[in-house]
């Protein structure tokens, strides 16, 4: 990837963000905890580390780098966007992540989900506002805070949205998001071990397989649902 990942030190990412938003370089940095945001300015100047003068110029000894794209948040969406933007090698891409590198071993062990679900190092551990319908209880809202974002702490269940939801988006004016339009992209992204068919694809970056074990109760629930 022809880019840079500023992830290892949260402080660096925060410093970079604050410098960029303050610097009079016409940069627009939109950070979000929910999804990815991309800032594009052809040949924009972006400071990775170091101090800026009152005019926004790098101070002696600081490092200035040039990027074509800045992607904020190295989660599911941000990693894909940064990867796709940089794969041609024509663009320099900076991918910023507020959390640490994904070195926590529990990220790489499927059952580690139980650990990362409550970890404060790789999980923002958000809470909802008090919910009036639930006696004003706040609900726990885990979100990933590491390279890979929530996909580094998720349950690894491959699931797509309901067809009708995509079609409704289209009906509400979101052209290109109806089920027939998004299905080819689901298939393109997938490497389904059962092989390709009308709904599934092979050769994509997302490896998908059936559960290796069978559970009578789960089979009965599925049978009752269809």
Ligand X SMILES: Cc1cc2nc3c(=O)[nH]c(=O)nc-3n(C[C@H](O)[C@H](O)[C@H](O)COP(=O)(O)OP(=O)(O)OC[C@H]3O[C@@H](n4cnc5c(N)ncnc54)[C@H](O)[C@@H]3O)c2cc1C
Asked whether position 142 contacts ligand X by CB under 6 A, the answer is yes
Asked whether position 109 contacts ligand X by CB under 6 A, the answer is no
Asked whether position 82 contacts ligand X by CB under 6 A, the answer is no
Q: Which stretch binds ligand X (CB under 6 A): 59-67, 85-93, 148-156, 206-214?
A: 148-156
The distance of closest approach from Cβ of residue 97 to ligand X in the complex, given in angstroms and rounded to an integer, is 5
Q: Which stretch binds ligand X (CB under 6 A): 127-135, 144-152, 164-172, 185-193?
A: 144-152
Asked whether position 156 contacts ligand X by CB under 6 A, the answer is yes
Asked whether position 74 contacts ligand X by CB under 6 A, the answer is yes
In the chain, the N- to C-terminal Cα span, in Å, equals 44
Three-state SS sequence of the chain: CCEEEECCCHHHHHHHHHHHHHCCCCCCCCCCCCCCEEEEEEEEEEEEECCECCCCCECCCCEEEEEEEEEECCCHHHHHHHHHHHCCCCCCEEEECCCCCCCCHHHHCHHHHHHHCCCCCCECCEECCCEHHHCCECCEECCECCCCHHHHCCCCCCCCCCHHHHHHHHHCCCCCCCHHHHHHHHHHHEEECCCCCCCCCCCCCEEECCCCCCCHHHHHHHHHHC
> Between 59 and 174, whose beta carbon lies closer to ligand X?
174
Asked whether position 145 contacts ligand X by CB under 6 A, the answer is yes
CA dihedral 96, 99, 105, 108 (to 10 degrees): -50
Asked whether position 8 contacts ligand X by CB under 6 A, the answer is no
Work out which of 20, 52, 96, 107 binds ligand X, going by CB under 6 A: 96
Work out which of 3, 58, 73, 201 binds ligand X, going by CB under 6 A: 73
Work out which of 99, 166, 187, 190 binds ligand X, going by CB under 6 A: 99
Asked whether position 76 contacts ligand X by CB under 6 A, the answer is yes
> Between 157 and 217, whose beta carbon lies closer to ligand X?
157
For residues 109 and 124, what is the distance between their CA atoms, to the nearest angstrom? Answer: 20
Asked whether position 159 contacts ligand X by CB under 6 A, the answer is yes
Work out which of 70, 98, 104, 119 binds ligand X, going by CB under 6 A: 98
Q: Which stretches of the chain bind ligand X, using CB under 6 A?
A: 13, 31, 33, 35-36, 72-78, 96-99, 117, 142-145, 149-151, 153-157, 159
């Amino acid at each position: 990837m022809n880019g840079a990942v500023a992830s290892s030190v949260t402080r660096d990412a925060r410093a970079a963000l604050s410098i960029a938003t303050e610097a009079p370089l016409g940069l627009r940095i939109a950070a979000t905890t929910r999804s990815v945001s991309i800032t594009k300015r052809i040949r924009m100047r972006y400071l990775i580390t170091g101090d800026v003068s009152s005019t926004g110029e790098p101070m002696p000894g600081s490092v200035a780098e040039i990027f074509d794209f800045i992607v904020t948040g190295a989660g599911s969406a941000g990693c894909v966007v940064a990867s796709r933007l940089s794969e041609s090698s024509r663009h320099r891409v900076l991918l910023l992540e507020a959390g640490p590198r994904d070195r926590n071993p529990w990220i790489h062990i499927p059952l580690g989900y139980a650990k990362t679900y409550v970890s404060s190092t790789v999980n923002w551990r958000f809470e909802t506002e008090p919910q009036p319908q639930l006696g004003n209880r706040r609900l726990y809202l885990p979100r990933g805070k590491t390279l890979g974002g929530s996909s580094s702490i998720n349950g690894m269940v491959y699931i797509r949205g309901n067809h009708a939801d995509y079609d409704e988006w289209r009906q509400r004016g979101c052209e290109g998001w109806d089920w027939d339009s998004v299905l080819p992209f689901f298939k393109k992204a997938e490497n389904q071990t059962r092989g390709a068919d009308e709904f599934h694809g092979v050769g994509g970056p997302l490896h998908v397989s059936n559960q290796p074990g069978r559970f009578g109760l789960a089979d009965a629930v599925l049978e009752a649902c269809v």
